[in-house]
């Protein structure tokens, strides 16, 4: 399923974590050197700026190459089927190039492989879009028939497994986020278009869906056999928490309900009191569980969403003087941040302002790898100084000493 060598990805992840542990002075420089010698990283992953440069250069090269091929060979401008096959061929070419640079050049998030895989995904979805559009343009009786929303849903339904496949195969976070967005949109469209009851329960359907996905991620995603896709699961976890809150936020529900019902006056919604409660309490629950479970993501997201909750209530229950309110709120939040920063410079109740990389990264395989590397290193060092004879343990026997 995955195109990268799993051992190479495991080594890369372990070396990154070992570097963090070394910086925290959990072991010495010689130990880190032994780990580097034992777990070789053969993948090429440049820094951010080089990655961006390579991504832009590769994207331009792909566009120029495919554009030149199209100019030379394209002649039938009115054949949708022909255009669909042409774009599919382009997708196969870029997909093959992606596999080659990964397997031969060992690129991993290097910019070149990113551009190629995004081009492949884009071309596949473009081909699907053209094909679906051509099929839906006429019905069985050759009468003009066109429903843009049907086209979108059909395209997204076909695109979802493609996105999941590429996100899994290339361990890509952006494609993972796109697949999650497509899934949520499909559920939203299915429920909201099922009549008045569907529109009423749509926020709760999205909330329940994201909650279940989040629970599955927290329960199964951090097992050793899935650890290669840990970054993907982190993205899903973030999007689940964010979508869960937005799905029951009063501002989002009220304005989206107005759009669905073509009511641009944004009238009051049923069960408004319930959405007032969820808007105010969910960020506080995130903060509570973030503190009690030592979950940095929930804690940070909860603090961020408090500002959106304040904005929601301020939008509908404004007391005037917005500039004064915003200024005072900003001063208050800066003050709270300063006080918390001072208090948590020394860790309290398991919390600190310093980023604790060990919290989520530590797992059994990492610990085993460090022990193995350290043991191998010590074993070779001890062998050089080993002598038989009057040992306290190894020699067994001279003078009765063991």
pLDDT digits (tens, 9 = 90+) for 13-70: 888 888 877 777 777 778 878 887 888 888 888 999 999 999 999 999 999 998 888 8
Same domain, yes or no: 34 and 149: no
pLDDT the model gives residue 310: 83
Instruction: Say how many domains are in the chain.
Output: 2
The answer to whether residue 401 sits within a structural domain is no
Residue 389 has pLDDT above 70, yes or no: no
pLDDT the model gives residue 370: 54
The answer to whether residue 392 sits within a structural domain is no
How large is the average pLDDT for residues 396-402? 43
The answer to whether residue 92 sits within a structural domain is yes
Domain that holds residue 27: 1-43+352-379
Q: Give the pLDDT band (50/70/90) at residue 354.
A: low
Same domain, yes or no: 25 and 133: no
pLDDT the model gives residue 177: 96
Same domain, yes or no: 73 and 39: no
The answer to whether residue 188 sits within a structural domain is yes
Same domain, yes or no: 112 and 252: yes
Lowest mean pLDDT among 181-190, 246-255, 320-329: 320-329
The answer to whether residue 400 sits within a structural domain is no
pLDDT in tens, 93-135: 999 999 999 999 899 999 999 999 999 999 999 999 988 888 7
Residue 247 has pLDDT above 90, yes or no: yes
Same domain, yes or no: 279 and 320: yes
Q: What is the mean pLDDT of the chain?
A: 80
Same domain, yes or no: 320 and 177: yes
Same domain, yes or no: 155 and 197: yes
The answer to whether residue 138 sits within a structural domain is yes
The answer to whether residue 124 sits within a structural domain is yes
For the record, the structure tokens of 401 come out as 């000493």
pLDDT the model gives residue 132: 87
Same domain, yes or no: 28 and 166: no
Q: Give the pLDDT band (50/70/90) at residue 4.
A: confident
pTM assigned to the model? 0.81
The answer to whether residue 399 sits within a structural domain is no
Same domain, yes or no: 141 and 110: yes
Same domain, yes or no: 65 and 108: yes
Same domain, yes or no: 31 and 103: no
Same domain, yes or no: 147 and 238: yes
How large is the average pLDDT for residues 224-251? 92
Lowest mean pLDDT among 88-102, 236-250, 266-280, 374-388: 374-388
Residue 360 has pLDDT above 70, yes or no: no
Residue 145 has pLDDT above 70, yes or no: no
């Amino acid at each position: 399923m995955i195109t990268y060598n799993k051992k190479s990805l495991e080594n890369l992840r372990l070396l990154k974590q070992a570097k963090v542990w070394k910086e925290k002075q959990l072991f010495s420089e010689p130990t880190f050197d032994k780990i580097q010698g034992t777990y070789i990283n053969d993948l090429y992953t440049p820094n951010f700026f080089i990655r961006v440069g390579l991504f832009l250069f590769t994207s331009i090269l792909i566009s120029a190459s495919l554009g030149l091929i199209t100019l030379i060979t394209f002649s039938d401008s009115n054949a949708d089927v022909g255009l669909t096959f042409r774009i599919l061929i382009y997708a196969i070419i870029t997909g093959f190039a992606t596999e080659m640079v990964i397997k031969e050049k060992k690129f991993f998030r290097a910019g070149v492989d990113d551009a190629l895989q995004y081009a492949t995904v884009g071309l596949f979805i473009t081909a699907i879009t053209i094909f679906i559009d051509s099929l839906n343009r006429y019905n069985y009786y050759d009468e003009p028939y066109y429903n843009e929303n049907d086209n979108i849903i059909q395209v997204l339904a076909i695109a979802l497994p493609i996105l999941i496949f590429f996100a899994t195969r290339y361990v890509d976070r952006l494609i993972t986020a796109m697949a999650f967005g497509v899934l949520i949109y499909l559920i939203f469209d299915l429920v909201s278009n099922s009549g008045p009851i569907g529109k009423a329960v749509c926020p709760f359907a999205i909330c329940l869906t994201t909650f279940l996905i989040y629970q599955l991620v927290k329960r199964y995603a951090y097992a050793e056999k899935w650890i290669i896709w840990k970054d993907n699961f982190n993205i899903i976890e973030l999007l689940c928490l964010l979508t869960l809150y937005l799905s029951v936020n009063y501002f989002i529900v009220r304005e989206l309900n107005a759009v669905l019902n073509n009511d641009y006056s944004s009238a009051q919604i049923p069960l408004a009191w319930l959405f007032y409660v969820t808007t105010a309490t969910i960020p506080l629950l995130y903060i509570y569980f973030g503190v009690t479970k030592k979950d940095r993501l929930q804690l940070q997201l909860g603090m961020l969403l408090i500002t959106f909750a304040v904005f929601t209530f301020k939008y509908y229950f404004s007391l005037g003087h917005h500039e004064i309110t915003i200024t005072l709120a900003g001063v208050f939040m800066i003050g709270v941040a300063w006080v918390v920063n001072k208090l948590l410079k020394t860790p309290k109740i398991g919390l600190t302002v310093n980023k604790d990389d060990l919290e989520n990264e530590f797992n059994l395989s990492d610990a085993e790898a460090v022990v193995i590397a350290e043991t191998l290193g010590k074993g070779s060092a001890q062998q050089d100084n080993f002598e038989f004879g009057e040992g306290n343990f190894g020699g067994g026997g001279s003078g009765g000493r063991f």
